[in-house]
Structure 1
Amino acid sequence: MLKKGNLRWWIIGLVTLGTILNYLARSTLSVTAPTLKEEFSMSTEQYSWVVLAFQATYTIMQSVAGGILDALGTRLGFFIFAVGWGLANMAHAFATGWPSLALFRGLLGATEAAAIPAGTKTVSEWFPPKERPLATSAFQMGTSVGNMIAPPLVAFCILYWGWESGFIVTGALSLVWAGLWYWGYRSPAEHKKLGEAERAYIEEGRADDVQGKPATRKEVLKSRSFWAIAIPRFLAEPAWQTFNFFIPLYLVAVWQLDLKSIALWAWLPFLAADFGSLAAGLLPTWLMKKGANLITSRKITMTVGALCMIGPACIGLAGSPGVAIALFCVGGFAHQMLNGALLTLCSDVFDTKTVGTASGMTGTIAWTGGMMFTFLIGKSADVYGYDPLFVALAALDLVGAVVLWVLLRGRK
């Protein structure tokens, strides 16, 4: 028997590296936020408008980016967006106040929107169903690795070269990756280094795939499967947005930590999120070996993650910044576990020709939820504090788990 090869894992490794740099670029702002608030005399509400500029364009463009990826192909489409986000991130260094910062943030959101749809589409193209959870977990781990790298790297840049350098360095790294992607990626049908044994393995595994997949945009929007993913993502995304954009501000506002302390501790929740991504890849495989069908394995994984969100709901009870960070770690683990299950479902239940579009549209709905919650934080955090907001995040995820089970009941 011919050795089937591992080119598909090298491909997902390249996607993971791109996701790391995508999230490193977007996380640069959260690390520089305390410095920029002082530099530009920004209030928390003004900062929330800067964040909302990113979220608004990212929200709208996910659906557009998914369609572009399906139309142009993953290779060219992802390359164009990566060049765009690298340049947009570097432009932040030329901001002179919160309005111009919001403008550049909006450009970054519009171009970064392709990352998750591109990753989901790559998984659909390159992996049989039984390997998709682990492949999705691999590129999803890039989201938390990028967030994990950002505090020490960007803080180092700020301390030695000024806040502008953080944006220049992280943006330039993305441009380097864009060239690497265009050089190294091909679809399975076009990749000259894909062996026949591995090609056959990928194709034969599709015999176990979900049947009756929506193959057009209209069919996607009419399918119960789409809303079973989109609604839980809408309810779950606020947690990840809060962890991404507000952990440093929370640590400064509630525990009065300085920049060096933030750099030392703020990356830990994203390390825990990596383990959550890994759990999202391993648990479904174990459940299927125990007899669960493909769809049920994803639903159980999402539900376990939602239950773990009870941890960050208790942050208001923390008696020290260390306990608060530990509970944020539980939240990072929980979110990436449940989100990984939902992303894998996207590649499971939609046709390869429409998975980018479907993933983009569910992402648009998800980020609408994140944007609304960010607006709520900007309006209420300075008045009521963060504690009620953390409780709300857990409640939303538990509701999302119920919706998933109800809408996908009977689906095999």
Structure 2
Amino acid sequence: MAAPVGEGSTGEARATPLKSIPLAAWWVLALMTIDYALGMIDRNAVSVLKTTLKAEFGVGDSAYSLLVTAFMVPYAICYILCGRIVDRWGSRGPLTLFVLVWSGATIGAGLSRTFPELVAWRAVLGAAEAGLLPATLYALVNWFPRDRLATVYAIKNPLQTMGAILSPPLIAGLALAYGWRAGFIVPGITGIVFAVLWWFADRSPPQDRATLKAEAAVPRPGFTALIRNPLLWGVLLARLVSDPVWFFFQYWQAGYLQEQMGLSLADVGRILWIPPFLSVLLTFVTAAISDRLIARGWAPAKSRIRIMQATVILSPLIALIPFIDNVTIVMAIFATTYFMAFTWLAMSNILMADLFPKSQVGSAVGIISCVGTIGAAAFNAGVGTVIEGVGYVPVFSVLALVHPVALIIMWRFYSRRFD
């Protein structure tokens, strides 16, 4: 079996200087983070407006689970398709199209007159947003050297996570000032503008020019070979188990604060930006540590895996949430959970660039994200019924266990290879 990409760099003592990266690459990075933030805002609109939408359409938590699942199922299914599209045509045209489609779907959601219409538009949104991650990771690999990916990813995270940070105050503010529909329509229109900017920015990336001839000379493994590669399966199974935490907290935390802790929509808009903001600061530190370990001689893949495993110590805190009445403490646990879940997502995606050649990165990211989202969709599809029947205690108890299980999976697949 061929050695994973990145292992050959284990002896590098110094990373590529940031000042040697062209200015155009930083412009592309800025645009991709803004597009990513806009996608997160579009995705999170139903989360912030959960209680409002339930009242508007006269539905309960079971129907809200359907709304969440309507996004997640096509999101999962289209990951692999979008990954293949990105591998074939790159990031410029595909990402432009993806952003245009999901922005249109967000506008459509804001114009919905019935709950089935809202569900349908959310499904279109999920299908289009599936292309965001493979395309942006492909663009990162093309515009930046591999030994700087974690650092660049960390630089991208603050703006990227601005979507999660801005969603509560922005969506709540628009809804309170102009009605809930504005919380969908305004971000959707903004996304169309940035799709046009991306088309003109993502041209002639330096890494693509530098590696085109070399990679053309190497036979491309097929999709079946990628699926059969054991290097993929550890991350794939770990994401299947752990992704429900990330998606649950995205879609249910605002409703939990309003319906279980008595906060208003204005309160949610005022404080719910804090957990993703704090998690960004912590994630930046862990990404810098990962790159520092590589500079000291660690294999890139080993540094990503160890960072992922180290964050699992935070997982048991999730089980305490339904027993705490203090909003500040609950928000602190939300922040640590965001940090842990986001670290797993970010590091596992970077890990694909470490383990596989550029021609397979989009497909690899698409596969693990597809499987992870399937696990999250299955969990979220039934969680509304559980909450209506027995409350939040069993839900948070299960969520506290999934990352430790994922840790065992990662250890089983990679401990011998990278120890």
* Aligned-partner SS, 1:256: coil
Matches within 5 A, 1:14-25: 14-25=31-42
Measured in 2, the distance between the counterparts of 1:296 and 1:108 equals 35
**What displacement does 1:214 show?**
7.5
Number of residue pairs aligned between Structure 1 and Structure 2? 397
| Alignment-derived partner of residue 360 in structure 1 | 366
**What displacement does 1:143 show?**
4.8
Contact preservation (8 Å) 1:141, 1:277: no
Answering whether residue 253 of structure 2 is matched by residue 237 of structure 1, we say no
Measured in 2, the distance between the counterparts of 1:315 and 1:42 equals 25
The letter for the 2-side match of 1:152 is: P
Seen in structure 2, the aligned counterparts of structure 1 residues 283 and 386 have a Cα distance that, compared at 3 Å, is farther
In structure 1, stretches of 5+ residues that fail to align are: 192-198, 207-211
Seen in structure 2, the aligned counterparts of structure 1 residues 297 and 399 have a Cα distance that, compared at 3 Å, is same
The letter for the 2-side match of 1:293 is: A
Answering whether residue 84 of structure 2 is matched by residue 67 of structure 1, we say yes
Answering whether residue 413 of structure 2 is matched by residue 391 of structure 1, we say no
Answering whether residue 392 of structure 2 is matched by residue 375 of structure 1, we say no
Measured in 2, the distance between the counterparts of 1:151 and 1:293 equals 39
Seen in structure 2, the aligned counterparts of structure 1 residues 140 and 386 have a Cα distance that, compared at 3 Å, is farther
Contact preservation (8 Å) 1:63, 1:360: yes
**What displacement does 1:9 show?**
3.3
Matches within 5 A, 1:6-405: 6-7=22-23, 8-188=25-205, 215-405=221-411
In structure 2, stretches of 5+ residues that fail to align are: 1-16
Measured in 2, the distance between the counterparts of 1:219 and 1:140 equals 32
* Aligned-partner SS, 1:409: helix
Measured in 2, the distance between the counterparts of 1:213 and 1:32 equals 50
Seen in structure 2, the aligned counterparts of structure 1 residues 225 and 141 have a Cα distance that, compared at 3 Å, is farther
The letter for the 1-side match of 2:104 is: L
Q: Alignment identity in percent?
A: 27
Measured in 2, the distance between the counterparts of 1:378 and 1:213 equals 48
Contact preservation (8 Å) 1:309, 1:335: no
Contact preservation (8 Å) 1:13, 1:138: no
Measured in 2, the distance between the counterparts of 1:367 and 1:142 equals 23
TM-score by length of 2: 0.89
TM-score by length of 1: 0.90
* Aligned-partner SS, 1:354: helix
Q: What is the Cα-based RMSD across aligned positions, in Å?
A: 2.4
Measured in 2, the distance between the counterparts of 1:336 and 1:305 equals 10
**What displacement does 1:366 show?**
0.7
Seen in structure 2, the aligned counterparts of structure 1 residues 144 and 176 have a Cα distance that, compared at 3 Å, is same
| Alignment-derived partner of residue 20 in structure 2 | 4
* Aligned-partner SS, 1:353: helix
Seen in structure 2, the aligned counterparts of structure 1 residues 333 and 48 have a Cα distance that, compared at 3 Å, is same
Contact preservation (8 Å) 1:234, 1:370: yes
Measured in 1, the distance between the counterparts of 2:361 and 2:278 equals 28
Contact preservation (8 Å) 2:68, 2:381: no
* Aligned-partner SS, 2:417: coil
Contact preservation (8 Å) 1:233, 1:362: yes
**What displacement does 1:161 show?**
1.0
**What displacement does 1:291 show?**
4.3
The letter for the 2-side match of 1:172 is: I
